[in-house]
Amino acid sequence: MADLVEIAGAGLSAAINPFGAELTHLRDAQGRELMTDADPAFWTGHAPLLFPFVGRLSGDVLRLDGAEYPMKQHGFARRSAFALVEHGESHVRFRLEDDAETRAVYPFAFALDAAYAIEDATLTIAITIANRGDAPMPASFGFHPAFAWPLPYGEPRADHRIVFDSDEPGTLVALQNGLTAPGERPSPLDGRVLHLSDVLFAEDALIWDGLDSRRVRYGAASGPQLEIAFPDTDKLGIWTKPGAAFVCIEPWHGIADSQGYAGDFRDKPGVFEIASGGTWTCRMEIALR
């Protein structure tokens, strides 16, 4: 395991693993952990970055321009070593660049920058994807942070909830074996409130496609809460494994394949194209309130 890179501000501190440029610890001013305990009985991830796609591909194959490239769920960025390119007391930036290994499964010249910065009690994660090739580059991207459930403020696990900042009356995407399935799931929201319980996740993640909200608040109503803002993405996954001490709040620009999908990656829902020499950016903010 690579040495973690630490940054800090007045109200938060963070530690990021260069392997995957993965946020591994987020602590308040008193040193209390706000991220997952990464219990291997459930899931050892912390906050992987999902690139060049989100979710699972049909047959675990990326189909592109008549060729097929085997690739596991959520892509390769989370299993790649990023270079440290900038580091200060309250900020750090990592970069993943294409190499022979990535081009064997994703035939593009790219640079993926993940920049972390803390100001007061807010952590901002800014993503920049650059196309260094001569042709348009299709991609999608997602965040996958796992927050402590319960948060370390003495409130019962059963009292934790996620509150959306807009009404979300629509249904949710159905999943089967990691792929989107025919039909829809009814919304579990009580108004704008998702009351967290293990039973919600008995059939995998909750997925909103085409969300109006760009911000949610997580925690117990009577205690400190985390506010997660995602101004550049309109899809959201919420996931845990029943009994685990974490809940993932995952803003996505992309989604899993539908069952039996055999089309080109460029035509996959949620995929965007970056012009030659161009960039695509998005960010997520995590604030302790």
235-257 CB burial, b ≥16 within 10 A, e <16: bbbbbbeeebbbbbbbbbbbbbb
Topology given in CATH for the domain delimited by 5-288:
Beta-galactosidase; Chain A, domain 5 (2.70.98)
pLDDT at 259 over 60: yes
Please name the amino acid found at residue 77.
A
Given pLDDT bands bounded at 50, 70 and 90, which one contains residue 144? very high
Which two structure tokens, joined as six digits, stand for 194? 């998702």
* Alpha-carbon gap, residue 11 to 266, rounded angstroms: 42
pLDDT per residue as tens digits for the range 62-103: 999 999 999 999 999 999 999 999 999 999 999 999 999 999
Exposed, middle or buried: residue 215 (CB in 10 Å: 0-12, 13-18, 19+)? middle
User: For the segment 119-134, what is each residue's pLDDT rounded down to a tens digit?
Assistant: 999 999 999 999 999 9
What are the extents of the domains in the chain? 5-288
Q: Check residue 1 and give its pLDDT.
A: 57
